[in-house]
């Protein structure tokens, strides 16, 4: 099984890399010039813009506009240069050409909204940003769009933008307590089989869940904003109430809009209850940075913090942690989006875990594929490999876990703010210590309403 899981992990990673390479834009074509000449021109323009010479970049690109007008990469580059050099009127013309060919070009859409803001046309800017928010973008992009929405909100010096959601779910979980499927396991230390307590054996059940969240963005100036938010969920089982979950999280920090990037630093606090009693507290500092959205968008993150268990018998799992990762997101004009993240981390044991410190590493892959006007296919796959430091005194081996998650769902949007999703999630954890190994399947339906 270990060989199988390693093979699966490598397969997921190679699938991501091959898909992203296959998705790379085809070799540039030009009108009246060789592809390399346009590529060199765009590269030189990017270098000038990065050096703070947006006006020089624009003038250089404008000199070749008759040759390359109509090419998406050229039009987007000259539009960005025009916007950054104080020519928002010319920028809107260039972005319009891009969006005429690629209506779902996220970078051009956002920059078109920015150009409207620069022209003082707040209403058109708001329409653009609201349309992008309705696509339910990733959290970092949502925060960035919220900043622009705040800027488009009115004539005051400081503006605040608020958004949120409500969600209700129902479904069936084959393993609500994430426990082993077998009731008896062999313990090498004792040289005999041991019968597990009832609560430590897999229990299937139906469930209902309610969730809500709110995000706030308060503009300080054109670059910096305060960000914050809170989320809460309650998931209750039909029969196994001892495994009901209630959780709440809050976050607050600051974000910066840079030239070509968006960065956030936040403090995060979370509390979860199990069966109506306090179970775990989490506190962390999170930092992430991402490119402004475009056909290809890179991002990175680092998180550090701690989690502490409240029940005395679970304090053995207390740990301090740090994790880092990089991600890439590729969007096509058809609406297809492929994303991937590779991450690694370390959990330092502070509670006396028999396995000692833990080192997790993994890969996540996601796909969004429009099927019809309002119907979208959602799929994701994840693999995580976790290795521990010490030999477990009861099982006489160094613990090694492999976790695989596969999810497939379809989402239907009644309108920009109301949607329903039906999905199936399959999780499998394999471990050389059998009490930590389990399978789990969750099938459910979720109705969600967004507010802006």
In the beta sheet, which residues pair with residue 341? 327, 364
In this prediction, residue 183 carries a pLDDT of: 66
Q: Give 157: exposed, middle or buried? Use CB within 10 Å, 0-12, 13-18, 19+.
A: exposed
Q: CA-to-CA distance for 186 and 164, rounded, in angstroms?
A: 49
Strands 184-187 and 160-173 come out as: unpaired
pLDDT digits (tens, 9 = 90+) for 105-146: 777 888 888 888 888 888 888 888 888 877 777 777 777 887
Number of CB atoms found within 10 A of residue 57's CB: 26
Q: What is the pLDDT of residue 320?
A: 97
Q: How far apart are CA 215 and CA 162, in angstroms?
A: 6
- Cα–Cα distance between 166 and 436 in angstroms, integer? 34
- Tell me, rounded to whole angstroms, the distance of Cα 149 from its chain centroid: 21
Q: Rg (Cα) of the chain, in Å, rounded?
A: 25
pTM of the model: 0.76
Name the one residue in this structure whose structure tokens are 């308060």.
218
How confident is the model at residue 66, as a pLDDT?
Answer: 85
Give the residues of the chain that fall short of pLDDT 70.
1-36, 154-158, 181-198, 259, 294, 333
What domains lie within the chain, and their CATH numbers? Answer: 2-133 (1.25.40.10), 162-451 (2.40.160.60)
User: What six digits make up the tokens of 24?
Assistant: 């790379």
User: How far apart are the C-alpha atoms of 407 and 405, rounded to whole Å?
Assistant: 7
- Selection from 94, 71, 89, 87 nearest residue 25 by Cα: 71
């Amino acid at each position: 099984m270990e060989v199988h899981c390693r093979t699966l992990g490598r397969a997921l990673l190679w699938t991501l890399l091959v898909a992203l390479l296959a998705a790379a834009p085809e070799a540039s074509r030009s009108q009246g010039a060789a592809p390399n000449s346009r590529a060199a021109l765009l590269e030189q323009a990017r270098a000038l813009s990065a050096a703070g010479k947006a006006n020089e970049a624009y003038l250089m690109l404008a000199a070749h506009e008759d040759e390359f007008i109509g090419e998406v990469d050229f039009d987007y580059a000259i539009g960005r240069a025009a916007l950054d050099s104080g020519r928002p009127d010319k920028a809107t013309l260039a972005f319009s050409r891009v969006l005429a060919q690629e209506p779902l070009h996220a970078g051009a859409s956002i920059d078109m909204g920015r150009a409207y803001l620069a022209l003082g046309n707040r209403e058109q800017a708001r329409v653009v940003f609201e349309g992008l928010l309705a696509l339910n973008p990733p959290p970092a992009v949502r925060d960035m769009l919220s900043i622009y929405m705040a800027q488009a909100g009115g004539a005051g010096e400081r503006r605040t933008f608020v958004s949120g959601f409500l969600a209700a779910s129902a479904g069936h979980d084959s393993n609500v307590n994430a426990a082993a499927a077998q009731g008896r396991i062999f313990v090498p230390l004792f040289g005999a089989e041991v019968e597990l307590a009832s609560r430590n054996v897999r229990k299937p059940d139906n469930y209902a869940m309610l969730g809500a969240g709110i995000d706030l963005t308060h503009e300080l100036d054109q670059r910096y904003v305060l960000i914050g938010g809170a989320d809460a969920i309650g998931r209750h089982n039909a029969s196994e109430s001892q495994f009901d979950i209630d959780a709440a999280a809050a976050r607050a920090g600051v974000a910066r809009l840079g030239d070509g990037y968006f960065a956030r630093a936040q403090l995060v606090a979370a509390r979860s209850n199990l069966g109506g009693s306090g179970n775990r507290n989490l506190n962390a500092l999170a930092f992430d940075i991402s490119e402004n959205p475009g056909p290809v968008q890179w991002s990175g993150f680092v998180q550090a913090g701690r989690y502490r268990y409240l029940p005395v018998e679970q304090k053995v799992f207390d740990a301090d942690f740090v994790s880092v990762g990089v991600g890439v997101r590729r969007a096509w004009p058809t609406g297809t989006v492929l994303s991937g993240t590779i991450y690694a981390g370390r959990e330092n044991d502070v509670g006396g875990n028999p396995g000692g410190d833990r080192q997790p590493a993994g890969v996540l892959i996601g796909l969004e594929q429009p099927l019809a006007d309002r119907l979208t296919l959602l799929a994701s796959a994840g693999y995580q490999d976790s290795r521990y430091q010490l030999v477990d005194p009861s099982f006489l081996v160094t613990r090694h876990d492999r976790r695989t998650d596969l999810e497939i769902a379809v989402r239907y949007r009644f309108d920009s703010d109301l949607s329903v999703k039906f999905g199936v999630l399959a999780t499998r954890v394999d471990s050389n210590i059998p009490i930590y190994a389990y399978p789990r399947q969750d099938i459910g339906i979720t109705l969600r309403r967004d507010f802006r």
